[in-house]
Amino acid sequence: MSLSKQLVVLITTLVLLLFAGTFLISVHNTRDYLENQLASHAQDAATSLGLSATAHVASGDQAMFTSMVNAMAHRGDYLSIRIEDLDGRVLVERRADFRTEVPQWFMDLFPLHPPEGSAVMMSGWHQVGKVRVVSHPGLAYRKLWNTAVDTLVWFFVAAGGLLLLALVLLRWMLQPLKKVEWQAEAICNREFPVVEERPFTLEFRRVVEAMNRLSTKVRQMLDNAERLAERLREQAYTDALTGLANRRHFMAVLESRLADEQSAGGLLLVQIRDFKAFNDTRGYQSGDQLLVAVADLLRQETAGLEGTTLAHVAGADFAVLCEGLDEARLRELAARIAAALGGLCAVQEGLPDDVGQVGGVMYRDQEVGELLAQADLALRQARQAGGNSWVVLESARSACVTRSATQWREAIERALDKGFFQMQAQGVYAADGTLLHRELFLRLIDLEDEGAIVPAGVFVPVAESLGLAVRIDRWVVTEVCERLSGVFGEERLAINLSSGSLVEVECLDWVEQTLRAHPEVARRLVLEWAEYTAQAHPQRLREWIDRLAPLGVEFSLDHFGKGFSAFAALRELKVHYLKIDAAFTRDLEQDPKDTFFLHAVTDIAHGLELRVIAEAVESGTVWERLRETGIDGGRGYFLGEPEDVRA
């Protein structure tokens, strides 16, 4: 029961008690007054009749004093009138019927006991008889009843007005509590508002001020924790001069991508030609300016590419790791970067016409050393080709990636029409070993390549460029709702959706309609997007959450940390899970330095009521160190391998 209702009940109870006491006192006092009036009235009548009838009683004139009694009794004001002789023998008596309009229950509850009035008839010094009179209580009962009714009516009118006034006052007085409730709910929803309006009531004002201080302190604590995490990340993973990823972080990302069979893409190495000579002749300050200019150039040329990691790996060397990029687009990117390097001559003094070269190679399943050797070979070939040139090597391993867009479209549309997809599920386990949910992975069955299995990391980026990713997402959602939900019982299922689905309004409408038709699936579903996708479209993600979270759907940010986004954005995105990118977890067994960053991320996430999941848990040592950071769960081959799903 709310406080306002409790106060209303309390006020009503007090008013009822007050009325009951007032009513009883008023009725009892009125009854005592009326009984006194009845006694006085009876005594006066007895005295008057005694004086008038004495002579007639003394003379024995029965007819005369009888007529006098009849005249008094005829008025109906008396219940009984009686004249007795000295021996107590009744000479004449008249009694009236007791009739009144007052309810019987009221007379039983508040009975009147009219006293008897008496007078001795004296003739000279001799007594001749006695008169006894009892007043009729009917009028007194009516007066008592009217008094009770008037009191009751007045009470209900006054009580109604008082309660109405009390409700208005309570609503006004308790309004600050509603704002405090709103403020507390906002804090739970990772918002930290301050109530500007101060209530008039001293106690409520203190509560509001205390909540404002709490909101401010919690926001400051989270801000401090976020700044600490940002500093840790910058110191550990960022090149101080250019702001790009440093070599350590780049190598961790590269290793994690090559170890992930779902991942494929391209790698570019960018090298400034004769950078040492430029430093020696122009000075280190000019050299630093050139490095910053190249870093800015790389940011501009890759601005529209999701899942791209830029790194300053050595003095004159940069790396561009493009996840999900096919060979044609990798060549276009290499050509743009090489042309932009040539354009630096116009803005940077002392630069030769040959600023640098770009070498690239596609990756999928290679070893790190092998891939870097291929990229270095491409870079050497570009250096031999002339000024500001580029070379992207063809690789036998990337045959499926280098097929034409038309061939890709035919393969993907055939898979959608015929259902040539294969589902795999891998468990995500809590720190105590219990299953949190199962993450589903989609793979394409390539009939043109003798039924080869193509991971999502290869064909989904191509599908996005061809405008087919949303159709694939709809196929997956339909498959989960209609066929796969019964396979896993009550277990939660996580599926990754594309950026195209996130931004398409019709897709959200369709997913909502589908999940409303399958509520048992909606409450077990986790929808995931990569961090960089959510970072690019935060408003769209909020719309998905606002519309689907009430159905029981949970949301997750995948590859968190890869995009180097600000932690403050997490307050706005009401997601349920953060899945830490494998680049931060893969090397924990050899290098535990990443645990400081993971500690900070976990503390911030828990402060925002988020669960933190680690990807790529490949050994018991890594899992143990992750659990020491307070992480909530993990996914990897150590915890459980992916398994084929069959409906």
Angle ∠(614,620,624) on CA atoms, nearest 5: 65
399 has pLDDT over 60: no
| Banded model confidence at residue 396, pLDDT cuts 50, 70, 90 | low
How confident is the model over 178-213, as pLDDT tens digits? 787 787 877 777 777 888 777 777 777 788 888 888
Asked if residue 283 and residue 143 are part of one domain, the reply reads no
Give the mean model confidence (pLDDT) for residues 113-123.
87
Asked if residue 586 and residue 608 are part of one domain, the reply reads yes
Kindly state whether residue 400 falls inside one of the protein's structural domains: no
Which residue range forms the structural domain that includes residue 90? 3-160
391 has pLDDT over 70: yes
Half-sphere exposure of 14 (CA within 13 A, CB side): 9
Q: What is the pLDDT of residue 565?
A: 56
Of 205, 220, 237, at which residue does a domain stop? 237
Asked if residue 229 and residue 114 are part of one domain, the reply reads no
Kindly state whether residue 623 falls inside one of the protein's structural domains: yes
Q: Where are the beta strands (DSSP E) in 55-158?
A: 78-84, 90-95, 116-123, 126-135
Kindly state whether residue 175 falls inside one of the protein's structural domains: no
Of 393, 427, 445, at which residue does a domain stop? 393
How confident is the model over 334-367, as pLDDT tens digits? 999 999 998 887 667 667 778 899 999 998 878 8
Q: What is the pLDDT of residue 278?
A: 86
Kindly state whether residue 424 falls inside one of the protein's structural domains: yes
Asked if residue 478 and residue 412 are part of one domain, the reply reads yes
Q: Where are the beta strands (DSSP E) in 497-573?
A: 525-530, 554-560
Angle ∠(247,267,262) on CA atoms, nearest 5: 100
**91-105, 162-176, 283-297, 574-588: which is most confident:** 283-297
| Banded model confidence at residue 2, pLDDT cuts 50, 70, 90 | low
How confident is the model over 45-62, as pLDDT tens digits? 888 888 888 888 888 888
Distance (Å, whole) CA 577 – CA 602: 11
Q: What is the pLDDT of residue 242?
A: 93
At residue 264, the 3 state secondary structure works out as coil
Kindly state whether residue 178 falls inside one of the protein's structural domains: no
| Banded model confidence at residue 77, pLDDT cuts 50, 70, 90 | confident
Asked if residue 636 and residue 543 are part of one domain, the reply reads yes
Question: What's the sign of the alpha-carbon dihedral 635, 640, 642, 647?
Answer: negative
- Cα–chain center distance at 381: 57
Q: The domain that contains 411 carries what CATH number?
A: 3.20.20.450
Q: The domain that contains 301 carries what CATH number?
A: 3.30.70.270
Q: The domain that contains 25 carries what CATH number?
A: 3.30.450.20
Kindly state whether residue 481 falls inside one of the protein's structural domains: yes
How confident is the model over 458-471, as pLDDT tens digits? 888 889 888 999 99
Token pair for residue 496?
A: 């990754």
8 has pLDDT over 70: yes
Q: Which residues contact 246 (CB under 8 A, 6 or more apart)?
A: 237, 238, 239, 311, 312, 313
Kindly state whether residue 378 falls inside one of the protein's structural domains: yes
Average pLDDT, the chain: 86
| Banded model confidence at residue 397, pLDDT cuts 50, 70, 90 | very low
Of 367, 393, 419, at which residue does a domain stop? 393
How confident is the model over 250-304, as pLDDT tens digits? 998 998 888 887 788 899 999 998 888 888 888 888 889 999 999 999 999 998 8
Asked if residue 286 and residue 219 are part of one domain, the reply reads no
For residues 390 and 357, the answer to whether their CB atoms sit within 8 Å is: yes
Q: What is the pLDDT of residue 398?
A: 42
- Which of residues 392 and 600 earns the better pLDDT score? 392
Q: What is the pLDDT of residue 635?
A: 94
Asked if residue 611 and residue 523 are part of one domain, the reply reads yes
Domain count, the chain: 4
What is the percentage of the chain residues whose pLDDT exceeds 70? Answer: 95
